[in-house]
A and B are shown apart, each in its own frame.
Chain A
Amino acid sequence: MLIKLTGGIVYDPMHGVNGQVRDIYVRDGRVVSTPPADQRIDEEYDLRGKVVMAGAIDPHSHIGGGKVNIARTLLPEDHRPHPIPRTPLTRSGTGRAAPSTITTGYRYAEMGYTAVFEPAMLPSNSRQAHMEMADTPIIDKGAYVMLGSDDYLLRMMAAGKTQEEINDYIAYTIVAAQALAVKVVNPGGISAFKFNQRNLDLDEKNSHYGVTPRQILQTLARGVKELGVPHPLHIHGCNLGVPGNMQTTLNTITGVEGLPIHLTHIQFHSYGTEGDKKFSSGAAQIAEAINRHKHVSADVGQIMFGQTVTASGDNMAQFRNRGFATPNKWVCMDIECDAGCGVVPFRYRDQNFVNALQWAIGLEIFLLVEDPWRVFLTTDHPNGAPFTSYPHLIRLLMDKSFRDASFERLHPEAQAMSTLKSIQREYSLYEIAIMTRAAPSRSLGLGDRGHLGEGSAGDITVYTPHDDKQRMFERPDYVFKDGTLVARNGRIVRVTDGGTHTLRPGFEKSVLKPLRAYFEQFHTVRPENFRVSDEEIVNEGRGRVIVNKLRAGSRG
C-alpha cells in the first residue's frame, strides 16, 4: 500500500522543514523516500494549499486509571449534556471533562492527535490504567509511573541505600507497570498526608521517614538519568496551588544540581504573594529561570474558563482545595502505602480574581519561555480544562488581538496584576509544530513519532489554513494513524487500535528477592500478579507493546 500526499505545506521541525511544499509518501504505515517514477501509487491526496504536520502528541493528559474513573462516576452531570450517539462505525459514549475512554480516543484523533500520555499511573493501579487505555481507540498511549510517596522508595532512602540499588527498584517498577517514564507528585507529601502532615515544603522532613522532598527529587532525577529513561523526571512539585509557591518552584529548578527535569503544569506552581489579595503572577521569574536553565523543560497546564474536574495524585493538595469543589462533592483516597488521589470538581470563572489571574499566568509562561522545544502545550486535562479546548488555546497563542480581547473580559483587578497585554509575541505554525509534535517526541524518546522523516510512523495530520486558528486546528481535513486514514474533516472514518509505548531499563535480578519478601510481608498482592504482562496489553491482538529505546550510553 503506497500513499502519496501531494504538494502540502509541510511543518516538520525535527528536520528543520518550515512551511516548504513537499510530497510525502507512506508505504505500509511508514514514511518512505520518493519512490521510482514508475511505482504505482495506490492512493493520492491532493494537499496543495493544505498544512501538513506529524500527528500531535499530548505528553500530559489524564485519560486512564482509577482517579479518572472516580471522576467519571462522581459526575453524571458532566455526561448528561454531552451524549455521543453510536454510529454504524463508532461506539456511543459521553462526557466532556471526564469523557468515556472510547470517546476520548475518537476526540483526540478527530483533532489530529495520534499519541497521548497518562502522566500519573500509580504502580498499584497500573493494570486498570492499561485496561482503560486499551479501551481508548486509535491513538497510541503510554504512562508515567508515579514514585516518591511509595513506602519502598522512602524506606530505601531512609535506610541509606545506594543510588545503584534505588535505580534497580525504579527500573523494576517501570518494567512491572509497563511505563514509559517516571513521575513524582508532591514528593513524599502524599505519604506525609497519611501521617497527618498537611503541608510539606521542599526541605521539610516526612515525619515517618525523615526524608525531604528535595532528597526525593534528586534521587529520582538522578535515577531516571542514570537508567537512560529518555524523558527527564516528570515533576509535579510541592505546594501546588499555594500562593507564593513560585519560590518552591525556583528552588526546585536550582536544587537538582543540573539534572534534567520536566516541571509539569507549571502554571499551578508559579504564584507570588504580591498585591492586596496576596496572590500574584510569578510567570516572569519562572520563565526567566526556565530560559536560563537548559536542563529544565515544562508543560503549562493552562486553565480555561468553565466547568471541569481536577483529578490528581496529590491528595494532600486536593484535600486542602476541597472547599472549592463545584459542585460541592469531592473524593480523596489513600492508596496501598504507595500513592493517593483526589478528585475535586472545579468551575473556573473569568470574573473570579484568582481564576482570571491563573489564566493569564499560564499564557504569560507560554509567551515568555523563549524556546518552544522546552515548553509543551497542555491543559493538564482535565485539571485546567478538557483537552478539547486545545484549538482555542492555540488561537490564544497565535493571535494577539484575540488574546487581548479575551483578556479584557477578565476580572479588572486580575487585568491590573498581569503583563499579558504588553507581550507582543504570536506563536508561528512552526513553533506550534515544535511544541505539539517534535518537542514532546524528542523529550519522551519516541523515535519514529512526532516527525515526518523517512522511516517515521505514518501519523500525519492535514489542516486547511485559516486566519481563525481555532477553526483550523479543531477539524483537520485528514488524520492518518500508522498510514491509515482514521479521520476526515473532524469525523472518524476508521477505528483502529493504537500501541502502548513502554521502556525496558535493565535491573539487577538481585533486586527481586528482597522485593518478593517485602510484598509477601506487607502487601496484599504478590509481585507476579502486581506486574502487568505483555499478554495483558496485547489483549488477543487488540493492543501492541512498543518498546522505546533507552538513551545512548545508559547502563540498560
Chain B
Amino acid sequence: MNPATAASPTAKSDARTHTSVTCPFCSLLCDDLEIADRGGKLTVSAGDCARARGGFEREYAVLSPQADGSNVSMEKAVAAAAKLLRGARHPLFGGLGTDVAGMRGLLALADRTGGIVDHMLGDTMYRNILAMQDRGWVMTTMTEVRNRADVVVFANLDAVSDHPRFFERSIWNADSMFGLPTRSRQIVYLGDGLNTNPGVSPDGRKPLHLKNEPERLGELIGALRALLAGQSLQADTVAGVKVGELAKLLEIMKAAKYGVIIWSPPRLPFASADLIVEAMCDLVKELNAHTRFSGFALGGNEGILTAGAVCAWQSGYQLRTDFGTGYPEFDPTRNATARLLENDDVDLLLWTSTFLTGQTPPRTKAPTILLAPPLAGLETRCAVYIPVGTPGVDHRGQMCRADNVVSLPLHQVRESALPSVASVCNLLLQSL
C-alpha cells in the first residue's frame, strides 16, 4: 500500500499498467481499474464498463488551439479568450465538466468577471437541490448500501444505463460487513419500461416490479405515504398499480432493517420533478419512525456534483449562481443556461466539458470559448477553442462521488502535453 503513487506502473513489454485507477466517467468513481498505456493509447484491462472504455480508450485528434477559425498558438488563443472575457459584461461559465481544480479556476474567473456558473446538467440537479432546500432529507452512501441494505427500491431507474457497475459494486457484492446475505436482498423496481435483468439475484430470484406510469411516480409515492399514515385510499389503482400491490410494497419497506430508495434526477424528466423527489424524501423520513430507511441519489455524471460542491463551499451557494453584482446571488430559475441564452442575458459563453458528453456547446449569438479535449470530430467553430486534457487521464485531479460524501483522487495514466482546465484558467486570470 504505497499511498503516494496509487498508479504504480509495471513494465509489461512496452506497455505500462496503472492499477487502482479512478474512473471519472460516471459518478460512481470506481477506483479499481487497471489501465494499460501503450505509447499513449490506453486500454481498460480491469474494472471496465462501457463508460470507462468510452472515456479512457477514446482517441484524440491533433487539434490546434483556434481563434476566429484559424489555428493559433496556445498563447494567442489564451490572449483572444482573455480579451473576450475582459470585454464581457455578463459571461456565462457553462458546461462545467471538470475536476475540483478546474472548478476552482472557473469560479475565480466568474468572480473576477462578474459571470454566472451553471452545469450542462443543471436542470437535472435542481430536481434534487430544490427538494433538499425545501424539506431536507435522509440519505446514505455507497458503502452503506453495499453492506447494509436489505431492501432496495429503484424508482424509475434501472441504474445500469448511466452507472454500469452499480449492481456489481453495491448490490450483488459477495460479502457484507454484517453478515447480510447479499443475494437475499429484496430488489424492487418502480416504473414501466426498465431493464430489470440486473435486479435478478445471482441465485436467480426475480425482483419485484411495479409497472407504474413513470411520470406518475409522485402519485404512487403519495399513496404509499397515505397508507403508511393509516389512511385508506378511495381508488383501486394508483398510477396504474393496484392498491393491494402498493400495500404489499409498503409492508416490505416497513419490514426492512435498512431500506434504501434510489432515484436519479436525469431519469425524472418531468415538470416539477422536485416535488416527486420531495415526496420520496418525506416517505423516507416517515419510515424512519419505524425502522431505518435512507434515500440515495444516483446521477451526478459529467462532474456536476464536483462543480456543485466546490461552488457551494467557495460561494455558499450551489450552481446557478451569478457574480454579476459583485457578490454571489443564487437563482436556480433565472440562472439556467437555456433561459440565459434564449433571452440574450449573457454576452459570452465559456463552455468547459472534459468527460464523456457535452463537448458541443449550445448554439448562441454570444461568442463562445470552448475548453474541451481534442476529440476526433470535435466541432471547434467558435470564437476560441483551447484544447485541454481529461482529468484522471492526462493529468491528476480530484472529484466528488455520487453520494456527495466521498471524493477520490484522479490519476495521470499517460504522458500528455495538454494543459488542465485549471492551468488554462490560471493563464486567463493572469491575462485579465
Residues of chain A having any CB pair with chain B under 8 Å: 64, 66, 68-70, 72-76, 78-80, 83-86, 91-95, 98-103, 122, 124-125, 127-128, 131-132, 135, 151, 155, 176, 193-196, 208, 319, 325, 329-338, 343, 512, 515-516, 521-529, 531, 533-536
| CB contact list, B391-408 vs A, under 8 A | 398, 400, 404-408
Residue B339 at the chain A interface, CB threshold 8 Å: no
Q: How far is the CA of A93 from the CA of B326 in the complex (A)?
A: 10
**Interchain CB contact under 8 A, B111 and A333:** no
B360 at interface, CB cutoff 8 A = no
A98 nearest in chain B by CB position: B316
Closest to A131 in B: B100
Give the residues in chain A near B288, CB-CB below 8 Å: 319
Which B residues touch A151, using CB under 8 A?
Answer: 147, 177
- Is A527 a contact partner of B1 (Cβ separation < 8 A)? yes
Cβ contacts under 8 Å, B313 to chain A: 64, 68-69, 72, 100-101, 131-132, 135
Whether A334 contacts B316 by the Cβ 8 Å rule is no
Interface, chain B (partner A; CB < 8 A): 1-4, 6, 20, 22, 31-32, 100, 104, 108, 111-112, 129, 132-144, 146-148, 169-170, 175-178, 257-258, 288, 291-292, 294, 308-310, 312-318, 323, 325-330, 398, 400, 404-409
Are A93 and B316 interface neighbours, CB within 8 A?
Answer: yes
Which A residues are CB-close (under 8 A) to B328? 79, 83, 92-94, 100
One of A99, A132, A337 near B148 (C-beta < 8 A): A337
Pick the contact of B309: A69, A80, A527 (CB < 8 A).
A69
Chain A residues, CB < 8 A from B175? 521-522
Most buried by B among A85, A336, A523: A336
Q: B411's closest neighbor in chain A, by CB?
A: A529
A357 CA to B248 CA, complexed, in Å = 48
User: Distance (Å) between the CB of A128 and the closest chain B CB?
Assistant: 5
> Which 3 pairs from chain A and chain B are nearest by CB?
A94-B316, A83-B327, A329-B136
Q: Contact check: which of A208, A329, A334, A515 meets B178 at CB < 8 Å? A: A208
Q: How far is the CA of A128 from the CA of B292 in the complex (A)?
A: 27
**Is the Cβ of A92 less than 8 Å from the Cβ of B326?**
yes
Q: Say how far B92's CB is from chain A's closest CB, in angstroms.
A: 17
* B315 lies within 8 A of A66 (CB): no
The total number of A-B Cβ pairs within 8 Å is 210
- Residue with the greatest number of chain A CB neighbours at <10 A, chosen from B2, B6, B176: B6
Expressed in whole angstroms, the Cα–Cα distance for A73 and B112 within the complex equals 23
Asked if B144 contacts A336 (CB within 8 A), the reply is yes
Partner of B20, one of A196, A337, A523, A529: A529
Hey, which chain B residues are within 8 Å of A76, CB to CB? 133, 316-317, 330
Known contacts A98-B316, A529-B31, A536-B398; decide if A332 and B138 are in contact (CB<8 Å).
Answer: yes
Q: List 21 A-B contacts (CB under 8 A).
A: A74-B136, A75-B133, A76-B317, A85-B327, A86-B326, A91-B108, A92-B326, A100-B316, A102-B314, A128-B400, A176-B3, A208-B178, A332-B138, A337-B143, A338-B143, A525-B143, A526-B6, A527-B3, A529-B20, A531-B3, A534-B4
Q: A124 and B139: CB pair below 8 A?
A: no
List 12 additional A-B contacts (Cβ < 8 Å) besides A66-B404, A124-B143.
A72-B317, A75-B133, A80-B330, A95-B316, A151-B147, A334-B294, A335-B405, A336-B142, A336-B144, A338-B143, A524-B142, A527-B3
- Give the complex CA separation of A332 and B294 in angstroms: 9
| A68 nearest in chain B by CB position | B313
A524–B317 CB distance below 8 A: no
Q: Min CB distance, B206 to chain A, in Å?
A: 26
Rounded to whole Å, the gap between the CB of B128 and the closest CB of chain A is 10
Closest to A128 in B: B407
Considering the chains assembled together, what is the distance between the CA atoms of A85 and B323 in angstroms? 9
Are B136 and A524 in touch, CB under 8 angstroms?
Answer: no
Contact across chains for B315 and A529 when beta carbons are under 8 A apart:
no
Q: Which residues of A contact B258 (CB under 8 A)?
A: 194
Verify A100–B314 contact, CB threshold 8 A: yes
Known: A331-B132, A524-B406. A535 touches B314 (CB 8 A): no
